[in-house]
Amino acid sequence: MNDRSEPPTDTEPVVINGELTIYTVAETAARLRPHLTERRLYLDLSAVSELDGAGLQLLLWLRETLSARGGALRLVAHSPAVAEVLGLLQLSGRFDLDSAGSAAGGAS
C-alpha cells in the first residue's frame, strides 16, 4: 500500500502491494477508508501477490460503498493473482477487469 502522509488526488491510483488477505485486510481497509469520500477511487492492484476471500470482500465492499455514495471503484491495473480469483468467481465484469491493465502486460 502507498505509505503517504497525504491522500492521493481522486485521479491518482492507490497502489496496493503484497498480499490482500485475511492477515492484511484490516490494515488495508483502514488506509482506504479516507478515500470513500472521493467521487472515484482508482486502485492499482498490479503488485498484489495473493488475494483471498477477505481481500475479495474488501474489494466488493469498496465497490458497493462508493456506488451507494454516487462514486465508483476502478481497477486501473491488476496482477495475475487478482485476475485469477475474479475470473474463477466470475466477478471480472463487476470490476471491469477486461479494461484494467494486467501486470503481465495485457488485459485478462
Q: Is 80 exceeded by the pLDDT of residue 106?
A: no
Greater pLDDT, 14 or 1: 14
State how far the alpha carbon of 22 is from the alpha carbons of 52, 53, 67, in Å.
Answer: 7, 8, 24
List the domain boundaries for the chain: 14-102
Query: Could you read off the pLDDT of 45-61 as tens digits, one per residue?
Result: 999 999 999 999 999 99
Q: Are 52 and 22 in contact (CB under 8 A)?
A: yes
- CATH class belonging to 14-102: alpha beta
pTM given for the model: 0.82
Greater pLDDT, 103 or 19: 19
pLDDT for 4 equals 44
